[in-house]
Amino acid sequence: MHLIIDGDIVAFRASASAYRKNPDGSKTDLAEGIARARVDETMATLMEQMHARSHSVYLSGDKNFRHFLDPTYKANRVAPKPKWLEDCKEHLVTQWGGDVVNGYEADDAMCMEATERGAGNCVITSIDKDLRQIEGSHFDWVKQERIDISALDAAYNFYYHVLVGDAADNIKGCPKIGSVKATNALKTGTGPADWFQIVRRLYNNDESLLLNGQLIWLWRTEGDIWTFAHAHSD
């Protein structure tokens, strides 16, 4: 089995865990080597757990096109980054063959490879539910949860995400629509064409819908920015 691994999350979790909690509640960063060792531990465990023979690792670089579409994209992420984050990313590149992508995100690169390989030929390995708009096998190593997403599930997950937005990425979603209203609205449809029309009606603002769709949509091929035409080809 081939794993397609979210290197951004591996690096972040490894670096964020490399600290000692002091009696007064403060934190002291541990050595860089400990953070790198936790990267190795995560990667080795994933390969062993999934009985994988090969893997790809993707990391996000610079000039993400989403920031040009919407300067407020991820602008809410103001917390300091873990001290050894960049070192962990470098370690993934030098020791695990990680690929840093520029102009788009690691998630896009993961989805492009998964699409090229085809469902059943790889496992998308991440804790990020955004990736579940892609058909195929997914593994969340923190929850120890493996699920198979059908093409219909993948389309549903995309339109649900467009409705509710993504607070972590500072995407507001459709005004006055939360998870319950989104679920109730979408269950009246039976497929992507229905779901698109439901979402479009609820937004009642094509410009806002188009922007959020483009922020949330993950590329299946390079440059695959979402348009309303995708609603008729899902």
CA dihedral 71, 73, 74, 76 (to 10 degrees): 70
Average pLDDT of the residues in 133-146: 96
- Is 141 within 8 Å of 45 (Cβ atoms)? yes
The predicted pLDDT at position 233 comes to: 64
- 103 shares a domain with 184: no
pLDDT tens for each residue of 126-138: 999 999 999 999 9
What's the domain range around 117?
2-149
- 91 shares a domain with 111: yes
Residues 6+ apart with CB under 8 A from 182: 160, 163, 164, 174
One-letter identity of residue 174 = C
For position 140, which CATH number holds?
3.40.50.1010
- 144 shares a domain with 186: no
- 145 shares a domain with 157: no
The rounded percent of the chain whose pLDDT value lies above 90 is 83
- 18 shares a domain with 83: yes
CA dihedral 231, 62, 10, 212 (to 10 degrees): -30
pLDDT tens for each residue of 10-27: 999 999 988 777 777 777
Helix residue ranges per DSSP H, 51-105: 65-69, 85-96
Q: Which helix (H) or strand (E) holds 45?
A: helix 32-49
Query: Which tokens in the block code for residue 120?
Result: 């059943």
pLDDT for 90 beyond 80 = yes
- 138 shares a domain with 212: no
State how beta strands 145-149 and 136-140 pair: antiparallel
HSE, side-chain direction, 13 A CA sphere, residue 193: 2
How many structural domains does the chain have? 2
pLDDT tens for each residue of 166-202: 999 999 999 999 999 999 999 999 999 999 999 999 9
pTM, full prediction: 0.93
- 141 shares a domain with 185: no
How many contiguous H segments (helices) and E segments (strands) does the chain have?
A: 9, 8
Average pLDDT of the residues in 55-63: 96
The predicted pLDDT at position 77 comes to: 81
Question: What's the Rg (C-alpha) of the chain?
Answer: 19
Given 90, 117, 149, the domain boundary residue is 149
- 56 shares a domain with 39: yes
Distance, in Å, from the CA atom of 171 to the CA atom of 56, rounded to the nearest integer, reads 28
Buried b (16+ CB within 10 A) or exposed e, 9-36: bbbbbbbbebbeeeeeeeeeebeeebbb
The predicted pLDDT at position 78 comes to: 74
Distance, in Å, from the CA atom of 201 to the CA atom of 181, rounded to the nearest integer, reads 13
- 61 shares a domain with 162: no
3-state secondary structure of 19: strand
- What is the average pLDDT value for the chain, to the nearest integer? 93
